[in-house]
Every structure is written in C-alpha cells, then in structure tokens.
Amino acid sequence: MFTSKALIGLSVLFLTLSAVFGVLNTSKTRELRGEAERAEFARAEAERLRIAKEKEVDSRPATTVADNARSTDAENRMASAEADLIRSQTEKAELQATLQASQNEIAALRTRLDETPPQDLIPDSLPMPGAGDLHTQLEETRRQLDSAEREKQLLADRIRTQERSAEPEAPRTRRAASRAPGVRGTVLAVNQAYNFVVLNLGGRQGLESNSEMLVLRNGTVIGKIRVSSVEPATAIGDIVTSSLARGVQVQPGDTVIYAGSNS
C-alpha cells in the first residue's frame, strides 16, 4: 500500500510532468504556427509573382505590335527619303547634261559670230549677192546666243536649287541637333570594370563621336562622359572618372544631357 506521502509525491511528479509537457506543447505549437505563416507568405508571394508574370506576358504582344509599327514607319520614311535622294540626283544629272549641251551650243554660236565678217566691212556701193541673207543669219545667231545664255543661267539656278534640296534630311537634322543644346537621354547600362556606359541616344538624335555629355541624378550634375561610338539608336560613352566625386558612380537610369563636342 502506498502511504500518503508516496501518493503526494506521485501527484507532485505527475503535475510536474504535465507542466513540462504543456510547455513543450506550447513551444511546438508556436513553431508550427510560425512555419505555417511563413509557408502562407511564400505561397502568397509566389502567387503575386505569377500574376505579375502573366500580366507582363499579356501586355507583351501589344508592345511588340507597337514597336513593330514604329520600326516599319521609320523604315518607310527612310526608304522614301532614299527614293527622293535618288530622284534628285537623277534630275541633277539630267540638268547638268542639258547645261553642258547648252554650253556647247553657245560655243558654236560664238564661233559662227567670230567667223562672220562685220557688217560695216561690206561696201554699200558694191552690193554682194546674199548680203541680206548674211545679215539675217547674223541677227538670228545673235538671238540664239542670247537665248542660249538665258537658258544656261536658268539651268545653273535649277542645279543650285536641286543641290540644296537634295541634301539628305538626316545629316541636316544631325548637325542641327549636335549644335543645339538640350539633347538628353538616359543611361541604359553601366560597365564599371571598363568604365563605359550605354545610352539610349544615337545618330538619329544627332549624337556624334567625341561629344561630351553631362550626367545628372535628381537634377544634380554628378559627372561627365565622352561618346566613343555611335549607332543609329544607341551610343557608348567612356566615363570621365576625374569628373566624379569620391564614392559616386554612374548608374542605369541616370540622365545625360549634351554638353558640347571636342571634334
């Protein structure tokens, strides 16, 4: 038989064990609840990323169509400009050929005038057979010469006009853009190892090699780059490291603005 003291001791032992198991169960419950919350957060984050990815995929075709349309429009304008240039060059060649023929005609008419005897050397008292015809031919030659000279001047004026209108539009735009301040763009990528950047500006915006660009961040100038290579829509620029403050680096998204040219 258990004594009363033994029963009391067993009761205390059971109570102690119950308390220990209770603490362990509480800790385990909290741990399981934390893992469940983390799993739920991870699931929600994965779902958010999936939805964002689907939206990006859904919007991509429309963006691609718009980009293709802009590209096609640019190609059509370029083809039209090239056709206009070829037509202008052809017209210029034709005008120059006509001008050369006119100059040859003028030279022939002047030769005829030089070979024709002056009218005052023909004696009035000794009329010569065909003297009237000779005078008529002389006047006609002079009229033809005057007409040829006028045509030559008109052709020369047309050729000068043609040369001005035949100048390609792109070079005119590029020169104007390169001389005019305010051309600005964005840094697309930065290569810190070789100290160069890629810009979203190119020859179409008037950018030229050796152009200098100021680098701005939040409206404040942080440094300078020098353009080393130009493509139609992009350009590569070397970072002028001496223009950067200590600890400052050019980053994608920084603004660049035309500052001048060293060429």
* pLDDT tens-digit series, residues 114-166: 666 555 444 444 454 555 566 676 677 777 777 777 776 776 677 666 656 65
Contact 185, 201 (CB under 8 A): yes
- Give residue 218's region: left, alpha or beta (phi > 0; psi -120 to 50): left
Q: Phi and psi at residue 227, in whole multiples of 5°?
A: -70, 130
Fold of 175-261: Thrombin, subunit H (2.40.10)
Contact 235, 227 (CB under 8 A): yes
Strand partners, 193: none
**Per-residue confidence band for 177, with pLDDT thresholds at 50, 70 and 90:** very low
Domain boundaries, the chain: 1-167, 175-261
Q: Phi and psi at residue 198, in whole multiples of 5°?
A: -110, 130
> What is the C-alpha to C-alpha distance for residues 168 and 127, in angstroms, rounded to an integer?
64
> What is the C-alpha to C-alpha distance for residues 33 and 48, in angstroms, rounded to an integer?
22
Report the 10 Å Cβ neighbour count for 92.
17
**Per-residue confidence band for 75, with pLDDT thresholds at 50, 70 and 90:** low
> What is the C-alpha to C-alpha distance for residues 257 and 263, in angstroms, rounded to an integer?
17
Q: What letter represents residue 172's amino acid?
A: R
| pLDDT on residue 48 | 73
* pLDDT tens-digit series, residues 10-37: 666 667 766 666 666 676 667 667 656 6
The two structure tokens encoding residue 185: 């763009």
**Closest to 154 (Cα-Cα) out of 98, 89, 85:** 98
Instruction: Tally the residues of the chain.
Output: 263
Report the 10 Å Cβ neighbour count for 3.
8
